[in-house]
Amino acid sequence: MSNPTANKVFAAVDAMDAAALTACMTPDAVFRFSNHPPVAGHDNIRPFLEGFFASIKAISHSQLEVFELPGVLITNGVVTYTRHNGTRYQCYFSNTFKMEGNLIAEYLIFVDNSKLYEE
């Protein structure tokens, strides 16, 4: 992966660092994770991320592909979630980042993590 924005985003996510991830977004960004309702603005996105990160033990992304278009960055790959009990759930994901300069204005995550909380 060679895109600086994607590098920052996945480093922040895999470190479960909500502050660093939020800093990759515009102040009024919209963040939509899977089937959850969208949240907008740093004051809403950061607590959403903190809550999600607290619900899992770890997260990692692999097999990343990055596609760049004017004003849009698309990333695909495999995400591995580690549950608090140590078991893992792995699935494919696709993210679309609608960019404003070097910041994400709209962050859309497409993933079927419906089995994440099944033990």
The residues of the chain scoring below 70 in pLDDT are 1, 119
Domains of the chain, residue spans: 4-111
Query: 84, exposed or middle or buried, with CB in 10 Å at 0-12, 13-18, 19+?
Result: exposed
Which pLDDT tens digit goes with each residue over 59-75?
A: 999 999 999 999 999 99
Phi-psi sector, 77: left (phi>0), alpha (psi -120 to 50), beta: left
pLDDT for 8 equals 95
Q: What CATH architecture does domain 4-111 belong to?
A: Roll (3.10)
Strand 103-111 relative to strand 88-100: parallel, antiparallel, unpaired? Answer: antiparallel
H or E element in which residue 12 lies: helix 4-14
